[in-house]
Homo-oligomer: A and B are copies of this chain.
Amino acid sequence: MTAVAVDLKSMAAAARDAARRLATAATAAKNDALSRIAASLPERSSEILAANSRDLQAARADGLDDHVVDRLELDPARMSQIAADVRNVASLPDPVGEVIESRTLPNGLLLERRRVPLGVIGVIYESRPNVTIDISALCLKSGNAVILRGGREAFHTNQALAGLVRRSLVAARLPEDAVQFVASTDRLLVEQMLAMKDGIDLLIPRGGADLVRMVAEKAAMPAITGGIGVCHTYVDADADLAKAVDIVFNAKTQRPSVCNALDTILVHDGVAPRYLPRISERLWAAGVELRCDPRALSLLEPRAKASGNGPRLKRAAPDDFGREFLALVASVRVVDSLDEAIDHIARYGSGHSEAIVTESTEAAERFLNEVDAAAVFANASTRFTDGARFGLGAEVAISTSKFHARGPMGLREITSYKWVVRGNGQIVS
């Protein structure tokens, strides 16, 4: 697709220099660059949309799926949305320089822990070109240099967008190499990027489960693991069943293709005969297929037949538990106790988002304490696990790792800190 020779080592060295300068850049300069990016998007829309139509033509010629083509396509409305997102990042507080804690030691040393950028971030992403702008804005605001490796399908669009970002950096008197785009679609470059332990401080994969797994396996540097959610909602013996119907329905159907959508309903034996008929009716009406353990199946079978929903009721296969469906499918299991629900989640969950519905404070607190996941909910939809909804302002990724950052990652979560110590001659005795 391109004959440009890409020298990742030189790019990483330039990124390191740019990161050093960007680490101490004034907030005003960074916001100036962000404003220029937002302003350039409509100003340069003809250039961007021309690049985008080259990509769209190639995608259609290659016979790519309609949903891939759709994700790829930019139009003035989408461009406006991207510009609005950049302005939102500009409006967020600058994480760099924040004093996380400070104290004076008995010997008079003034000690502070101060937030600093991580350094150079590498991003490997798939077909959505908005990621180019989105991640550039988040890295810029947090003082990190970034090396972008976008998907083949969006190559020309991404290249045009990265060029726009770089011009905005120059105009704001910031180092243009703070944002660099890998101008080749050679797959070998991905392998090279993943091996650059000294050149790249953090690798962020943005895309499907296969990409995330590949990066987790191969990256020599720290990498964000996330985006895979096997999410349970447990309807307790003391649940308010009306709430449980609304919450499960929302978690499953509001946007089934995302990682915080529900995959498995666990329901206490004591309420299953009253709850399962109610929730199945709502879910079937929305086109959801239910894959049930034997007890749930026997409760639902007569009803499914009577209502003509037989095709939407199936016996669960063993791998239907612990599976991320990303579609209008849910697995269902009846459990005898809160303990059994917690054990099921410990065994099958992916540590993303887990919920209980109960009016019992004791049951809720046990669930919130004992379930080990990035986000645990009592009486709310798992769909709330999201940087913007949690008030982080923006989101780089949702981490299911326990190391560094867990759950929705905003600007702060792509920073580190340093210990700053001011003395007047103190020595260790």
- A-to-B contact residues, CB < 8 Å: 20, 23-24, 103, 105, 109, 111, 116, 118-119, 201-202, 222, 240, 243, 246-247, 249-251, 254-255, 346, 364, 368-370, 372-381, 383-385, 389-391, 401-404, 406-408, 416-429
Interface of A, helix, strand, loop or mixed by DSSP: mixed
- Residues of chain B with a CB closer than 8 A to A222's CB: 222, 401, 403
Is the pair A422, B379 in contact by a Cβ cutoff of 8 Å?
yes
**How far does the alpha carbon of A408 sit from the alpha carbon of B421 in the complex, in Å?**
13
Across the interface, A425 reaches (CB within 8 A) one of B243, B408, B416, namely: B243
Is the pair B383, A428 in contact by a Cβ cutoff of 8 Å?
yes
Is the pair A419, B375 in contact by a Cβ cutoff of 8 Å?
yes
- Residues of chain B with a CB closer than 8 A to A402's CB: 116, 118-119, 201, 416
Identity of the chain B residue whose Cβ is nearest the Cβ of A424 in the assembled complex: B379
Across the interface, A423 reaches (CB within 8 A) one of B379, B408, B417, namely: B379
A201-B403, A380-B426, A384-B426 known; 13 other A-B pairs, CB under 8 Å?
Answer: A24-B369, A103-B391, A105-B391, A118-B402, A246-B427, A364-B422, A375-B418, A380-B421, A380-B422, A390-B419, A402-B416, A403-B403, A407-B418
Interface centre among A24, A222, A375, A423 (most CB of B within 10 A): A423
Is the pair B418, A372 in contact by a Cβ cutoff of 8 Å?
yes
Identity of the chain B residue whose Cβ is nearest the Cβ of A97 in the assembled complex: B369
Tell me, rounded to whole Å, the shortest Cβ–Cβ distance linking A400 to chain B: 11
- Residues of chain B with a CB closer than 8 A to A424's CB: 243, 379
Identity of the chain B residue whose Cβ is nearest the Cβ of A343 in the assembled complex: B20
Task: Tell whether A418 pairs with B373 under 8 Å between CB atoms, given A20-B346, A425-B247.
Answer: yes
**How far does the alpha carbon of A111 sit from the alpha carbon of B403 in the complex, in Å?**
21
Across the interface, A111 reaches (CB within 8 A) one of B23, B247, B391, B420, namely: B391
- Residues of chain B with a CB closer than 8 A to A250's CB: 427-428
Interface centre among A20, A246, A376, A418 (most CB of B within 10 A): A418
**How far does the alpha carbon of A251 sit from the alpha carbon of B376 in the complex, in Å?**
47
**How far does the alpha carbon of A368 sit from the alpha carbon of B119 in the complex, in Å?**
17
- Residues of chain B with a CB closer than 8 A to A375's CB: 418-421
Tell me, rounded to whole Å, the shortest Cβ–Cβ distance linking A386 to chain B: 8
Q: 6 A-B contacts, Cβ less than 8 Å apart?
A: A249-B427, A250-B428, A254-B429, A379-B423, A381-B427, A407-B418
Is the pair B416, A403 in contact by a Cβ cutoff of 8 Å?
yes
Task: Tell whether A376 pairs with B246 under 8 Å between CB atoms, given A201-B402, A202-B403, A426-B384.
Answer: no
Is the pair B384, A425 in contact by a Cβ cutoff of 8 Å?
no
- Residues of chain B with a CB closer than 8 A to A246's CB: 425, 427
**How far does the alpha carbon of A245 sit from the alpha carbon of B425 in the complex, in Å?**
10
**How far does the alpha carbon of A420 sit from the alpha carbon of B364 in the complex, in Å?**
11
Tell me, rounded to whole Å, the shortest Cβ–Cβ distance linking A345 to chain B: 11
Identity of the chain B residue whose Cβ is nearest the Cβ of A383 in the assembled complex: B428
- Residues of chain B with a CB closer than 8 A to A369's CB: 24
- Residues of chain B with a CB closer than 8 A to A201's CB: 402-403
- Residues of chain B with a CB closer than 8 A to A119's CB: 372, 402
Is the pair A240, B381 in contact by a Cβ cutoff of 8 Å?
no
Is the pair A419, B407 in contact by a Cβ cutoff of 8 Å?
yes
**How far does the alpha carbon of A285 sit from the alpha carbon of B250 in the complex, in Å?**
76
- Residues of chain B with a CB closer than 8 A to A381's CB: 426-428
Is the pair A403, B404 in contact by a Cβ cutoff of 8 Å?
yes
